[in-house]
A and B are shown apart, each in its own frame.
Chain A
Amino acid sequence: MIDKFLMAYRSIRERRTRSILTVLGIAVGIAAIVALMSVGYGMEEAITGELTGMADMISVFPGKITGTTYVELGSFTDRDVKDVKRIAGIKDISTMTFDAVEVEYRNEKVPIFIIGGDTEELAGFYVEPVGLKEGRWLRENDYKGCVIGDRVANDYFDEVIHVNDKLILNGEKFIVVGIFEKASTLYASDVDPYIFLTLRAAKEALQTDEINYIMVRVYDIDEAEEIAEEIKEAINDNHGLDDFATAMTMGSMIEMMGDVFNIIRGVLVGIAAIALVVASIGIMNTMLMSVMERTHEIGVMKAIGAKSSDILSLFLLESSMVSLVGGVVGCVLGVTVAIVISLGAGTALGIEFGAVVKPEVLFGGMAVAMLVGVLSGFYPARKASRMSPVEAVRYE
């Protein structure tokens, strides 16, 4: 066995440039896959990571999700909220309401969406990840205060809005108590164009009792799916409609995103894997040449008693060594590239994420490299092992 290793090593060493090019080919292929996987996992982590902390949450919307678009079918009533509260296993429930109103600032009127909800829940959702630039967050008794997103403050009106400025929402005066930082890409569409109020103030300003969103926290995460089902039924019954409410647990939401990411990753890795196919063709080529050049040697080995299986394993060993080295180099290269890409993409897209290098991806990469090497080395190795010793020795 050790002999074979030494022989394979010798023959790789002998043709240095050729081996290096072959190794480089497979390294590039593996690196592409490892880098894409790591960047993909990093992005997924960045997006779902924040959500896993809220795994005990169920979101209830009055509408349905078809494909990628959400269609609002109406709104909830106080009766729905009461019924949901009665369901066993629910720890806490908070409601949100939102709609567009005319907002006046220094004689300019612009329609803007306002969101009203439980101040603590809203803080957990938006203030923690985005942060406030000026002022403070809403308190539960801030009936006339509001916090505004970056675009409301800077873009929508001719003049920039600051803390303690007054806005007129639907005829009522509100004081701006806080202004959000400009949100990252991930949160931009959730925070920047909105005005945030307490639930009571929002209901007054919108002159409505309609509820657009109910957030439920459960005691036991394992029961979340059943509770979600129950909530859906209770609300649908109230409205006498099928398919009216959507209750989604954080768990299933994370799962859904995971599925989307898996598809994207699958497609990208599939395309990158084409490079591996090309690399395996390269290995086959190198091995074929190595066999051809050593025809005479093979004949001698056979003549002094080497079995066909010895020859076969000798060449398989050579091709798998080349590809394994390629795999290792590829993993190193891939991780480096992933880190560079995630830095670059992070600053370009305004999303903060780091490449997540999973050990199973690295091992998988090396295993794939090895597999590719053995597979593409198989034909040349077989060809070598089947040579007739007499003819092989005669080969000049």
Chain B
Amino acid sequence: MRDSFSLTYRNISERKARAALTILGITVGIGAVIALVSIGYGMEESITGQLVEVADVIMVTPMRMELGTVGTFGSFTDRDLEAVDRIAGVKDAVAMRGEMEEVEYRGETFMVQIVGIEPRDITAVFGETVQLEEDGGAGTEASGRALRDNDHKTCEIGYSIAKDYFDDEIDVNDRITINGSKFRVVGVLAKQGGFRSNVDSAIYVTTRDSVSILDNEDISIIFVRVRDIGEAEEIAAEIEERIDDNHKLDDFTSAMTMGSAIEQMESIFGILQAVLIAIASISLIVAAMGIMNTILMSVMERTHEIGVMKAIGAKNRNILSLFLMEAGVISVIGGVCGCIAGVIGAHAITFGIQAAFDVEIAAIVKPEVLIGGIAVAMFVGILSGLYPARKASKMSPVEAVRYE
């Protein structure tokens, strides 16, 4: 065993350039796969990560949750909210009222999403994340303060509203006109971006104010927090039933648990990743051909040597394992290098994406991916070394020795 190792080592180091190129081939292939998988996990994490924090939340909307259907069937009433609140296992039920309204600032008017919510419920809806960033956790510090329960005619505005919508930037204590009545800006929310960019382009007011501006008491979304995440699905079903009963309609409400939302996204990411990896694996096939080529040449060059080995008593098995070992060592080295290259590549690419699109993604390198990468490399190496190694082992010693 040790002998075959040192023989392998000698062979590889004898033809350095050839071995290096072969290793480089498999490095590139494995590197590509590792990088893609790591970036994929990073993207998935950056999207579902925000949701995991609020995994005990059920989002209740008056619409059918389907791909491609736009618009809502109507709205909820206070009676629905009470009914939801009464369901066992519900910790909190929070109503959000929202509608597009005209907002004017220094002579410019835009339609903006106005969201009415009880200030004390904001944490329940957004989890801790928005607040944390407000405290300066992520560098983009928010200014001003949060809404308070007894605020009147005041609002918190999203980042894009403050910076992008109007020609002039809006600051804390500026006044904006929402649907004809004046509001004072008390706080500017930190930039959310990415998956929660809708927060950036909304204006938040208290429920009382929203009822008076919007001139109705319609509730557009109910957020429900449950005590036990395990019961979330059942509670969601019960919520749907109760509200549908209230409105005497079938399929009016859809209550989606964050758990199922995460699951849906994970399955989409799974498909996406599988496609990308499949395409990247094409380079592994090409690398496998490179290995086969190298080992074939190594066999050819050493025909004489093989003959001698056989003549002095080496069995077919010994020859086979010798060449398989060579292929395996080359590919494992390639696999290890590929892992390193892949991790570096993944970090470089996510950094590039961050710089270019302003979304925060950090490549996630899972140890099982690295180990898998090396295992795949080894597998590929041994498979593609099999044909040349068999060829070598089946040589007739007499003819092999005669080979010049």
Q: Is B294 an interface position by the 8 A CB rule? A: yes
- Judge whether B71 and A99 touch: CB under 8 Å: yes
Q: Which residues of A contact B401 (CB under 8 A)?
A: none
- Judge whether A193 and B69 touch: CB under 8 Å: yes
Q: Which residues of A contact B70 (CB under 8 A)?
A: 70, 72
- Judge whether A271 and B32 touch: CB under 8 Å: yes
Q: Which residues of B contact A17 (CB under 8 A)?
A: 296
**Chain A 25-59 interface mask (CB, 8 Å, partner B; 1/0):** 11011001000100000000000000000000000
Q: Which residues of A contact B36 (CB under 8 A)?
A: 271
Q: Which residues of A contact B72 (CB under 8 A)?
A: 100
Q: Is B2 an interface position by the 8 A CB rule? A: no
Beyond A18-B296, A282-B21, A285-B294, list 9 extra A-B contacts (CB 8 Å): A21-B296, A102-B249, A108-B250, A240-B102, A241-B111, A242-B110, A277-B28, A278-B28, A285-B290
A108 to B74: give the CA distance in the assembly, Å: 18
Stretch at the interface among A109-117, A174-182, A311-319: A109-117
- Interchain CB contact (< 8 A) of B293 among A110, A156, A282: A282
Q: Given A281-B25, A285-B22, A289-B18, do A242 and B283 touch, yes or no (CB 8 Å)?
A: no
Q: Given A18-B293, A111-B249, do A272 and B282 touch, yes or no (CB 8 Å)?
A: yes
Overall SS of chain A's interface:
helix
- Judge whether A22 and B283 touch: CB under 8 Å: no
Top 6 closest A-B pairs, CB basis? Answer: A189-B68, A275-B283, A111-B73, A73-B111, A100-B73, A285-B21
A17 to B280: give the CA distance in the assembly, Å: 25
Q: List 22 A-B contacts (CB under 8 A).
A: A21-B290, A21-B293, A22-B293, A28-B285, A29-B282, A32-B279, A36-B279, A72-B70, A102-B249, A110-B249, A110-B250, A193-B64, A241-B111, A242-B108, A242-B109, A271-B32, A271-B36, A278-B25, A278-B283, A281-B290, A282-B25, A282-B286
Q: Is B368 an interface position by the 8 A CB rule? A: no
A121 to B70: give the CA distance in the assembly, Å: 21
Closest CB in chain A relative to B189 CB, distance in Å: 17
Q: Is A243 an interface position by the 8 A CB rule? A: yes
Find the A residue at minimum CB distance from B19: A285
- Interchain CB contact (< 8 A) of A240 among B68, B100, B109, B296: B109
A108 to B294: give the CA distance in the assembly, Å: 72
Q: Which residues of B contact A278 (CB under 8 A)?
A: 25-26, 28-29, 283, 286-287, 290
A190 to B69: give the CA distance in the assembly, Å: 8
A288 to B286: give the CA distance in the assembly, Å: 18
Find the A residue at minimum CB distance from B112: A73
Give the interface size bracket for A toward B: 35 or more
- Interchain CB contact (< 8 A) of A71 among B24, B66, B113, B279: B113
- Which residues in window 54-72 of B have CB below 8 A to A? 64, 66-72
A123 to B110: give the CA distance in the assembly, Å: 35
- Judge whether A274 and B21 touch: CB under 8 Å: no
Residue of A72, A156, A271 ringed by the most chain B CB atoms within 10 A: A271
- Which residues in window 275-329 of A have CB below 8 A to B? 275, 277-279, 281-282, 284-286, 288-289
- Judge whether B71 and A241 touch: CB under 8 Å: no
- Judge whether B286 and A72 touch: CB under 8 Å: no
- Judge whether B250 and A72 touch: CB under 8 Å: no
Q: Is B251 an interface position by the 8 A CB rule? A: yes
**Chain B 296-320 interface mask (CB, 8 Å, partner A; 1/0):** 1100000000000000000000000
Q: Which residues of A contact B110 (CB under 8 A)?
A: 241-243
- Judge whether A271 and B289 touch: CB under 8 Å: no
Find the A residue at minimum CB distance from B113: A71
- Judge whether B69 and A29 touch: CB under 8 Å: no
Q: Which residues of A contact B18 (CB under 8 A)?
A: 285, 288-289
Q: Is A66 an interface position by the 8 A CB rule? A: yes
Residue of B29, B70, B111 ringed by the most chain A CB atoms within 10 A: B111
A243 to B197: give the CA distance in the assembly, Å: 19
A285 to B25: give the CA distance in the assembly, Å: 10
Q: Which residues of B contact A99 (CB under 8 A)?
A: 71
Q: Is B17 an interface position by the 8 A CB rule? A: yes
- Judge whether A275 and B282 touch: CB under 8 Å: yes
A98 to B100: give the CA distance in the assembly, Å: 18
Closest CB in chain A relative to B120 CB, distance in Å: 28
- Judge whether A274 and B28 touch: CB under 8 Å: yes
- Judge whether B283 and A100 touch: CB under 8 Å: no
Closest CB in chain B relative to A280 CB, distance in Å: 9
- Which residues in window 128-179 of B have CB below 8 A to A? none
Q: Is B83 an interface position by the 8 A CB rule? A: no
Q: Is A244 an interface position by the 8 A CB rule? A: yes
- Judge whether B67 and A189 touch: CB under 8 Å: yes
A364 to B379: give the CA distance in the assembly, Å: 34
**Chain A 242-284 interface mask (CB, 8 Å, partner B; 1/0):** 1110000000000000000000000010011011011101101
Closest CB in chain B relative to A374 CB, distance in Å: 17
A99 to B370: give the CA distance in the assembly, Å: 52
Q: Is B205 an interface position by the 8 A CB rule? A: no
Q: Is B248 an interface position by the 8 A CB rule? A: yes
A98 to B69: give the CA distance in the assembly, Å: 12
Q: Which residues of B contact A100 (CB under 8 A)?
A: 71-74
Q: Is B204 an interface position by the 8 A CB rule? A: no
- Judge whether B66 and A189 touch: CB under 8 Å: yes
Q: Is A74 an interface position by the 8 A CB rule? A: yes
Q: Given A275-B285, A278-B28, do A286 and B293 touch, yes or no (CB 8 Å)?
A: yes
Q: Is A127 an interface position by the 8 A CB rule? A: no
- Judge whether A274 and B280 touch: CB under 8 Å: yes
- Judge whether B74 and A111 touch: CB under 8 Å: yes
A325 to B396: give the CA distance in the assembly, Å: 35
- Judge whether B296 and A188 touch: CB under 8 Å: no
Q: Is B252 an interface position by the 8 A CB rule? A: yes
Closest CB in chain B relative to A340 CB, distance in Å: 14
- Judge whether A281 and B21 touch: CB under 8 Å: yes
Closest CB in chain B relative to A58 CB, distance in Å: 20
Q: Is B237 an interface position by the 8 A CB rule? A: no
